[in-house]
Structure 1
């Protein structure tokens, strides 16, 4: 037997190196440390296993691959369990997570008089920052851009005294582990709302400033948000949503900027606009996930169905890159939109 064969035979008798599954918890905790609770091995749901850190900012815990998939959750010290859902780690994987342990309530801040060089006007930006934004400064966030910003968070500024309650809905969905934390950027409308949210030219309402408005959103608002907040600026983490004409604008902006937005939601979209131009002039299928819905009470359901059918003919697939929903009993107002805004939110940003 040659030396090479002897060496190979000897190596085959040695135990294989054990693989390791690793979680890295990004959270600054110089005093309490971080422990890991889980459903297998040295972890349990009643007591945490200590993670290690060299800098009290990134905490690492490792277990053997032969435990298989493991469900776990970090704990601050051994008492404060992270807010939100659990994390499932596949055997052999390494995962970075960014938890928070404080109250699950985000906050809304207003940027007044934000100027649009494209439209030659200004408006407020209303920005929802998620619960962990100040607590865990290592974390970055997906961003959802929404139109009609004054209707999203505060009944006092809403057009008809009823808000969407987007902040309350996101808080609840995050706290219960149904969706990821996100930043929401509400862009106020102006007296030129109809023109800014539409293409040219509807026989009754005219319109025609949507191309300029989309340049404002893409070239001015988004760069400002990405440069001043801890965002995840890539397309995969960027969505746009609106209702009525704002739903129309969201679809069109995503169609024109498929390299910027990966998700777009039209809630009660006005697909009747300009003799159903959006339905009859639908571009080829794009790498964007679209959410469409309408209520059953005077809410343009027939036009939305036609848009849905046109998209299916272009190759979009229900529940894959198209989510179509009929809201029974819902009509065309903020109360109805608030009642179902959780659907696009959880489809776009599910708990990972």
Structure 2
């Protein structure tokens, strides 16, 4: 029996492709349609695909391999012969194995509202506005990075936005995913409350007070994130979790990420209110933590000088320009949703470039 087992193992090794570059396509395609592969090298071409092999078992995984000698591969799967996956091409370094989770339907995500989410930390309630990406209902095998954002009322719907202008986060992400420059993500918009100023700020500005940021921070980390991770198909690790906001929400995002580098790896401060409390935030930047920060400001009454001071203070603490600190000066940009909508593609594509998420 021992020799039979050894012989069987040797046979399997002999049949396995030596030095294979492999894609594993996770998708519940029917046997009739199946998954095909188009690529820039090998038997598969860009104009006509080659069938992938469905792995045995219940997981709906389709496999295709190329010899290592062909070098790096660029490819896209198709559903059947003609329906090409939405988004960008997938890049496989020679010798690698890449798991991908494509979709083939319309590139439109969906926003749902979760009402009356209680905050024991702040003793109040608010809604969460959850953007689920285009493939969420189509490919049940896929999990997603998550972006947490403040001022949820202003993100997706002009009817609920404070000044009748929305960020258009859903439309922007739909477009960036469809054109293959951004990965799909879940966005959690956290509504503000009448206590917005206090909740988004540390203590204490001489004019506006503030000081409930610690409790709001705890609400996100202890209540909102655990709820989202157990309710939706998220990638819950720090490398796939980001936080972003504007104005006071910008400083809230920066401070929360600085405090929790074990939870957030990316933070965006859009038109952040770094003037808060006579500019103490740029003056007291903590030591560098392993978080990527995006900072920006417009050139028209948008706190550009204070944001520049924050950028310079972070560089002095060890952040690296263009590596883990991206600063953008928005020419003509103002302190409003229209300006933020016009440039939100910059942090989105920097945080979540196409092909960056792994599961």
Query: Is the structural similarity TM-score above 0.5?
Result: yes
Residue 24, structure 1, aligned to residue 27, structure 2 = no
Task: Quote the residue 1:133 is aligned against.
Answer: 136
* Aligned mates of 1:43, 1:89 — CA distance in 2: 14
Task: Quote the residue 1:36 is aligned against.
Answer: 37
* Aligned mates of 1:63, 1:285 — CA distance in 2: 43
* Aligned mates of 1:277, 1:231 — CA distance in 2: 36
Residue 281, structure 1, aligned to residue 267, structure 2 = no
For residues 106-158 of structure 1, the C-alpha deviation after alignment (integer angstroms, 9 at most, x for no partner) is 00000011110100000010000000000000000000000000000000000
* Aligned mates of 2:141, 2:116 — CA distance in 1: 30
For residues 16-45 of structure 1, the C-alpha deviation after alignment (integer angstroms, 9 at most, x for no partner) is x83111100000012310000001110101
Task: Quote the residue 1:74 is aligned against.
Answer: 77
Task: Quote the residue 1:176 is aligned against.
Answer: 179
Residue 200, structure 1, aligned to residue 203, structure 2 = yes
One of 58, 61, 66 as aligned partner of 1:58: 61
* Aligned mates of 2:211, 2:286 — CA distance in 1: 19
How much does 1:93 deviate?
Answer: 0.4
For residues 219-252 of structure 1, the C-alpha deviation after alignment (integer angstroms, 9 at most, x for no partner) is 0000000000000000000000000000000000
Residue 320, structure 1, aligned to residue 336, structure 2 = no
The alignment's TM-score, normalised by the length of structure 1, stands at 0.95
Runs of 4+ off more than 3 Å: none
Structure 2, gaps ≥5 residues long: 1-16
The alignment's TM-score, normalised by the length of structure 2, stands at 0.93
For residues 172-195 of structure 1, the C-alpha deviation after alignment (integer angstroms, 9 at most, x for no partner) is 000000000000000000000000
Residue 310, structure 1, aligned to residue 320, structure 2 = no
* Aligned mates of 1:162, 1:114 — CA distance in 2: 25
* Aligned mates of 1:308, 1:29 — CA distance in 2: 48
For residues 75-100 of structure 1, the C-alpha deviation after alignment (integer angstroms, 9 at most, x for no partner) is 00011000000011111000000000
* Aligned mates of 1:166, 1:292 — CA distance in 2: 18
* Aligned mates of 2:19, 2:121 — CA distance in 1: 56
* Aligned mates of 1:308, 1:130 — CA distance in 2: 32
Task: Quote the residue 1:8 is aligned against.
Answer: none
Structure 1, gaps ≥5 residues long: 1-16
User: What is the aligned-residue RMSD (CA, Å)?
Assistant: 0.8
Task: Quote the residue 2:214 is aligned against.
Answer: 211
* Aligned mates of 1:115, 1:140 — CA distance in 2: 26
Task: Quote the residue 2:260 is aligned against.
Answer: 257
One of 271, 282, 288 as aligned partner of 2:274: 271
* Aligned mates of 2:117, 2:205 — CA distance in 1: 29
Task: Quote the residue 1:338 is aligned against.
Answer: 341
